[in-house]
Amino acid sequence: MAIPQLVSPDTVLGTSDTRVTDLLGYYIQLNKPKHVRLVLGTQVNGKPHFGTYMVHAITFQIARLIKEAYRLPVSVHIGFLDNTTHDVVDSPEGIPYQRNISQVKSLDTISQEIGLNYGLLHEALAIRIGIPFTLELYSQQQKRRSYRQTLIKSLHHREKLSILFSGRNGEVILRIPCPKCGYFEKVLTYTHVVNLTNSSATISTRCFQHGEYSSLMQPPFHHFVRSMRNFSSGCLIYFCQIPATFSAIILQWRLYASSRNITPSQTGL
């Protein structure tokens, strides 16, 4: 029995696109944006290696190619993921609990490390290639009112969207740090959405050291798996139609959803 080939954007588009900028052509013609923003995500987990620097440099170079191809202003937005794992411990019951860098280090400390590790590179790229850039920590992004509203709205449709959040078992993973120690369940056992309205979500969970607690979607910030984080960010841009702005994260949502035969109308958003 022959094994069918996997269908991916590469195999589908490989013969029709000759440049990386061609992937954006359809979206630019359809939306007619006044500005293109490339979104790059980087984990904050120590000193970056050569591959990380190369990805940053390539992103700026792609931005230059888009600017030349479509005659549009282009910028790069770099999101630093301070929800990267710091340490994992097991509870007496054998349940793994995780703590992120943002629960261990202060915002100022993380920002200083980013400046030390990336500051000269970004400034050199911006000057050399002529592309402006902005920086933002994930803990800052997800505290925005608009981001929280989008996430809460998606929770109302979590049964439809569960395959996006976790293809393995369809489980919507929400990790709520303990307000006392910062640890949260890595694999959900005690975490549940106990109350959901149009404007808020109350999540109940349990710390292996400090017992039960709940959160009303307010600081300290929550941790979401990558698929859920990307979905919320993409929907925030795609469905809210931020004026005069086009983000490459739309491509990520489009390709990710199309691979599962999911359309925006099916999500209920």
* The dihedral formed by the CA atoms of 263, 141, 218 and 230, expressed in degrees to the nearest 10: 30
Query: What's the pLDDT at 245?
Result: 38
Query: What's the pLDDT at 265?
Result: 42
Map out the domains of the chain with their CATH numbers: 18-141 (3.40.50.620)
- Do the Cβ atoms of 146 and 139 come closer than 8 Å? no
Question: Is 0.95 topped by the overall pTM?
Answer: no
Give CA–CA dist 183/69, Å, rounded: 47
Nearest CA to 217 out of 186, 183, 176, 257 is that of 176
The tally of CA atoms less than 13 A away on the side-chain side of residue 164 is: 30
The string of DSSP codes covering 96-155 is EEEEEHHHHS-HHHHHHHHHHHHHHHHHHHHHHH---EEEEEHHHHTTSHHHHHHHHHHH
Q: Kindly indicate the confidence band of residue 91, based on its pLDDT and cuts at 50, 70 and 90.
A: very high
Q: Kindly indicate the confidence band of residue 233, based on its pLDDT and cuts at 50, 70 and 90.
A: low
Nearest CA to 138 out of 174, 110, 169 is that of 110
Three-class SS state of 243? coil
Query: What's the pLDDT at 22?
Result: 76
Residues 6+ apart with CB under 8 A from 262: 163, 164
Query: What's the pLDDT at 12?
Result: 53
Peptide bond into 220 cis (omega under 30): yes
Quote the strand ranges of the chain, DSSP E. Answer: 36-43, 74-81, 85-90, 96-100, 133-137, 174-175, 184-185, 192-196, 201-207, 211-215, 223-224, 246-247
Residue 46: both structure tokens together? 């120590």
Q: Is 97 exposed, middle or buried (0-12, 13-18, 19+ CB in 10 A)?
A: buried
Give CA–CA dist 208/256, Å, rounded: 35
Residue 107 CB neighbour total at 10 angstroms: 12
Q: For residue 85, what is the DSSP state? A: E
Q: pLDDT tens-digit profile of 105-142?
A: 998 999 999 999 999 999 999 999 999 999 999 888 88
Q: List the helix and strand counts (H, then E) for the chain.
A: 11, 12
Query: What's the pLDDT at 155?
Result: 81
* The dihedral formed by the CA atoms of 111, 112, 117 and 121, expressed in degrees to the nearest 10: 80
Query: What's the pLDDT at 198?
Result: 82
| Residues paired with 175 in a beta bridge | 223
Query: What's the pLDDT at 6?
Result: 46
- Do the Cβ atoms of 165 and 225 come closer than 8 Å? yes
Three-class SS state of 214? strand
Three-class SS state of 48? coil
